Amino acid sequence: MATPRTITLTVNGTAHQVTVEPRTTLVDLLRGDLGLTGTHVGCEHGVCGACTILWNGKAVRSCIMLAVQADGSEIATVESLAQDGALHPIQQAFMEAHGLQCGFCTPGFLMSISELLARSPDPTDDEIKDTLGGQICRCTGYQTIFAAVRLAIKKLADARAAGGGA
Amino acid sequence: MKPPPFEYTAPTTLPEVVSLLQEHDFEAKILAGGQSLMPLLNMRLARPSILIDVARIPDLDYIRATDGSIAIGAMARQRSVELADVVRTSHPLLYATTMHIAHPQNRNQGTLGGSIAHADPAAEYPALALLLDAEMRATGPDGERTIGAADFFVTYLTTCLDTAEVLTEVRLPCLPPRTGWSIQELTRRHGDYALAGVMATMTLDGAGQCAEARLVLFGVGATPIRASNAEQMLIGTKPGETEFVAAAAKASADLDEPLSDVHASADYRRDLARVLTRRALAEATANAVGTA
């Protein structure tokens, strides 16, 4: 048994202080300790992307990041997207454009896309594909997910034009 | 698929790192971005007793242009390399190499220094370091030293660094004028490790003859491999299809014993090395003509 460490981190705007074993991965902290089970665990070696979260605004694999590495960080998970029961425009676009089927990979897709659109609100097709390439979906196929991203871009632009934010 | 237990420490100075490495020797492993180490831990292929996280050391995260080179601190994230203006403008080959590495979600966390210190023979940055004669700066119990890429990569996942040394900076020389470059890889999916890869540069003189050619093959042996004999064949020629085919055959034939695994046999990799070398030389030469 290795020496446990106490860390502090902010998850979806809420500050947490937790004591973890060094070998605890960030995704296990999120799901097991904090009960945020929206983040999924797939391959557990950083390939499938189901566990993708935002670490200080950057999309990373939480299955190959230790909780102790996130000490002092801001984390955002898929639970941060919907506000007061209303889906985030990216989620809404996924629903309307059939960007998901079984939904297992979807949390990772949503977080990767939210990083892309925060950095680059009007991305090129290549930028979108580079981002989607880091996520594996085995049922929907990528065409509808790509269409969902294009729809999300439009929804977010409309919201900005209407002064609504989002 | 969970890591075995280990201790963890996150020192904030390099002397602390060195003394921890001295204390724990082979039992210690340095953690940078973790994109190679963490999968090994999760699969229990590595079982260090202590991880030394170097991400909390200030001043290891920088990208600077310094007389003809780009100097990169060991903790600079691959994504920072990708997004740095100075890289795009003064080292397009470094930018293109970075875009071949996994996916943005990995590059956000992975570091250039970590990739080089990990020395995976199929990885892009070690190949680029060898191609450019990069200089690696390391700190250890006896102070700092600088190591050329030709001496740095020893064998599979092994560098010449002592167990108590830590990589602090990598200097990648920019390309000379009238030089074209090419990266050729075969991967099953975009972002995968290459089954085989080739990087080439071609420098032409005023008359269009080859003044210098460089060739590195990766994913085919225990380290990235410089194809020196094939390079020599090109110098002084006006390089065209005949020269590319001959040099590619030589580079492929010179391979000692290409890697053989579940993804590709040794024979397949040797043939791939030949095909990719020819393509790399053709593209690098066409680009060199463009820069003349």
Same domain, B128 and B188: no
Domain boundaries A5-80, corresponding CATH code: 3.10.20.30
How would you label A85-113 residue by residue, b for 16+ Cβ within 10 Å and e otherwise? eeebbbbbbbeebebbeeebbbbbbbbbb
Residue B1 lies in a domain: no
- pLDDT of residue B292 exceeding 60, the answer is no
Question: A142-161 and A125-132 are packed helices; what angle lies between their axes, rounded to 10 degrees?
Answer: 120
Same domain, B84 and B138: yes
Q: Across the A/B interface, how many CB contacts are shorter than 8 Å?
A: 98
Same domain, B74 and B166: yes
Tell me the chain B residues in contact with residue A59 when contact means C-beta distances shorter than 8 Å.
104-105, 108
A5–B38 C-beta distance less than 8 A: no
- Give residue A74's pLDDT band: very low, low, confident or very high (50, 70, 90): very high
Token code pair at residue A166: 């989002």
Distance, CA of B96 to CA of B194 (rounded, Å):
15
Given B8, B34, B190, which is nearest A22 (Cβ)? B8
User: Which pLDDT tens digit goes with each residue over B199-251?
Assistant: 999 999 999 999 999 999 999 999 999 999 999 999 999 999 999 999 999 99
Distance, CA of B189 to CA of A35 (rounded, Å):
34
Distance, CA of B5 to CA of A80 (rounded, Å):
31
Ranges of each domain in chain A? 5-80, 89-161
Look at A141 and A127; give whichever has higher pLDDT: A127
Helices (H), B60-211: 78-83, 85-90, 92-99, 104-107, 112-118, 124-131, 149-152
Last residue of a domain, one of B126, B146, B173: B173
B38–A46 C-beta distance less than 8 A: yes
pLDDT attached to residue B275: 98
Distance, CA of A5 to CA of B6 (rounded, Å):
12
Domain that holds residue B91: 63-173
- pLDDT of residue A165 exceeding 70, the answer is no
Mean pLDDT of B110-126: 97
Q: Which of these, A81, A87, A57, A70, lies nearest to A25 by C-alpha position?
A: A70
- pLDDT of residue B32 exceeding 70, the answer is yes
Residue B2 lies in a domain: no
- Give residue A164's pLDDT band: very low, low, confident or very high (50, 70, 90): low
pLDDT attached to residue A19: 98
User: Which pLDDT tens digit goes with each residue over B86-112?
Assistant: 999 999 999 999 999 999 999 999 999
- CATH number, domain at B25? 3.30.43.10
- pLDDT of residue B50 exceeding 60, the answer is yes
Same domain, B165 and B211: no
Same domain, B189 and B232: yes
Q: Percentage helix, strand, coil, to 5, in chain B?
A: 40, 25, 35
Q: Is B5 an 8 Å CB contact of chain A?
A: yes
pLDDT attached to residue A22: 98
- pLDDT of residue A27 exceeding 70, the answer is yes
Look at B260 and A163; give whichever has higher pLDDT: B260
Same domain, B48 and B86: no
Q: Is B102 an 8 Å CB contact of chain A?
A: yes
Q: Dihedrals φ, ψ of A123, to 5°?
A: -75, 160
- pLDDT of residue A87 exceeding 80, the answer is yes
**Min distance A40 CA to chain B CA atoms (Å):** 15
Residue B191 lies in a domain: yes
Q: Dihedrals φ, ψ of B155, to 5°?
A: -160, -170
Token code pair at residue B26: 């082979």
* Total domains present in chain B: 3
pLDDT attached to residue B236: 97
pLDDT attached to residue B189: 86
pLDDT attached to residue A104: 97
Last residue of a domain, one of B16, B40, B56: B56
**Min distance B134 CA to chain A CA atoms (Å):** 28
Token code pair at residue A130: 């580079």
Same fold: A5-80 with A89-161: no
pLDDT attached to residue B291: 64
Q: How far separated are the first and last CA of chain A, in Å rounded?
A: 45
Helices (H), chain B: 14-24, 37-42, 78-83, 85-90, 92-99, 104-107, 112-118, 124-131, 149-152, 228-234, 241-253, 266-291
Q: Strands B50-53 and A74-76, how do they pair?
A: unpaired
To the nearest whole percent, how much of chain B has pLDDT over 90? 95
Look at B203 and A165; give whichever has higher pLDDT: B203
- CATH number, domain at B78? 3.30.465.10
Same domain, B125 and B156: yes
Q: Which of A27, A54, A69 to mutate: most B Cβ within 10 Å?
A: A69
Last residue of a domain, one of B173, B206, B237: B173
In the CATH hierarchy, which top-level class contains the domain A89-161?
Answer: mainly alpha
Residue of B nearest to A66 (CA): B38
ipTM of the assembly?
0.94
pLDDT attached to residue B259: 87
pLDDT attached to residue B185: 96
pLDDT attached to residue B1: 81
Same domain, B129 and B149: yes
Same domain, B89 and B147: yes
Same domain, B85 and B68: yes
Mean pLDDT of B165-183: 97
Q: Is B58 an 8 Å CB contact of chain A?
A: no
Same domain, B124 and B194: no
Residue B226 lies in a domain: yes
Residue type for position B76: A
Sign of the C-alpha dihedral, residues A65, A109, B189, B92? Answer: negative
pLDDT attached to residue A79: 98
Same domain, B164 and B196: no
